[in-house]
């Protein structure tokens, strides 16, 4: 491999990663994953130059991934990253076409996330206490279930994320902001928590809304561990994660409102299809929403 070609292999990846990180503002986890996928493609098929990468090379990447025993989700991620990388190279006029354009993703069924029912949610949130950790945890869980937040969204909240009109400003995937209403129970828990939190460290010195016992921002792992512990204590005989509460929020909202579009906005989903999959609606329910909502579907 010529030195210039070897340099181009990795420098073009670096250019793509820079666009993902700075211009598209993807998360650091996503960016690292993208870079790892492309480096593994180089290693797998011993490519010499991105300009000579062909559709057959793309098929070879697919075959080697299957032979390696990667899951359909992992294979599709690799295809998607490679396809987007060549879209970037095409935009920059470094290649003449996208060799991944005709290669389709592997078909697979996404396992639907499990939810808890309303009674289980009430049981989980029925604990009380006057110590800092109990008050903090109660507030976190009420916001997770009451606002449908992602794990990373709630740990990244700051004091100024809570707005005066009982809403919360959330920074979701792709650094996109959305405003979500805070329900009565979550607002009560928040009102109780804020003065206790302020006593630990003034918000002007540490803006993080939720702190660990070490007085720094609560991590995703710490939150998930606390939720699992409380679920066991509240005798919820099922694995509970922050994602479980988000999915339960979506499910219960849809069961009550039957408004798929509104729930999409509240969850921060870019595509409506994501919300449909995420909320395990059956086709009959989706058809009912369509029949009642679409002007061309309504019966006279």
DSSP string for 230-267: HHHHTT--S---HHHHHHHHHHHHHHHH--HHHHHHHH
Contact residues for 235 (Cβ-Cβ < 8 A; gap 6+): 123
The SS3 of residue 124 is: helix
**Radius of gyration, alpha carbons of the chain:** 23
Place of tokens 């994953």: 33
Among residues 35, 138, 247, 269, the one annotated as catalytic is 269
243 as an active site residue: the answer is yes
246 as an active site residue: the answer is yes
205 as an active site residue: the answer is no
Among residues 78, 150, 197, 247, the one annotated as catalytic is 150
Distances (CA, A) of 213 to 110, 217, 230: 37, 9, 17
Among residues 60, 94, 243, 258, the one annotated as catalytic is 243
Strand 167-171 with 162-163, pairing: antiparallel
285 as an active site residue: the answer is no
Read off the tokens for 283. Answer: 């086709």
108 as an active site residue: the answer is no
Of 127, 114, 79, give the one whose Cα is nearest residue 241: 114
Among residues 169, 173, 178, 192, the one annotated as catalytic is 173
Q: What are the start-end ranges of the E strands in the chain?
A: 162-163, 167-171, 177-181
214 as an active site residue: the answer is no
Among residues 35, 136, 138, 246, the one annotated as catalytic is 246
Active site residues: 150, 173, 243, 246, 269, 278
């Amino acid at each position: 491999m010529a030195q210039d070609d070897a340099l181009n292999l990795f420098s073009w990846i670096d250019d793509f990663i820079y666009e993902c990180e700075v211009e598209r503002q993807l998360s650091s986890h996503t960016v690292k994953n993208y870079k790892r996928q492309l480096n593994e493609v180089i290693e797998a098929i011993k490519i010499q130059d991105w300009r000579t990468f062909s559709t057959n090379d793309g098929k070879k990447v697919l075959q080697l991934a299957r032979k390696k025993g990667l899951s359909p989700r992992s294979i599709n991620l690799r295809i998607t990253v490679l396809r987007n990388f060549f879209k970037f190279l095409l935009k920059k006029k470094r290649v003449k076409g996208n060799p991944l354009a005709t290669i389709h993703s592997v078909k697979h069924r996404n396992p639907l996330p499990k939810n808890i029912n309303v009674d289980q949610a009430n049981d989980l949130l029925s604990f009380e206490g006057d110590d800092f950790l109990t008050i903090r945890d109660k507030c976190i869980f009420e916001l997770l279930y009451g606002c449908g937040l992602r794990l990373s969204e709630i740990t990244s909240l700051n004091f100024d994320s809570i707005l005066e009109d009982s809403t919360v400003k959330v920074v979701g995937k792709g650094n996109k902001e959305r405003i979500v209403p805070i329900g009565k129970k979550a607002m009560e828990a928040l009102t109780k928590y804020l003065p206790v939190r302020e006593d630990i460290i003034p918000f002007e010195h540490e803006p993080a809304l939720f702190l660990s016992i070490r007085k720094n921002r609560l991590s995703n792992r710490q939150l998930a561990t606390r939720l699992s512990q409380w679920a066991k204590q509240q005798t919820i005989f099922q694995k509970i994660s922050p994602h479980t509460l988000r999915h339960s929020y979506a499910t219960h909202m849809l069961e009550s409102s039957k408004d798929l579009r509104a729930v999409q906005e509240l969850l921060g989903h870019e595509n409506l299809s994501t919300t449909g999959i995420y909320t395990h609606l059956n086709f009959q329910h989706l058809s009912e929403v369509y029949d009642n909502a679409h002007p061309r579907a309504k019966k006279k």
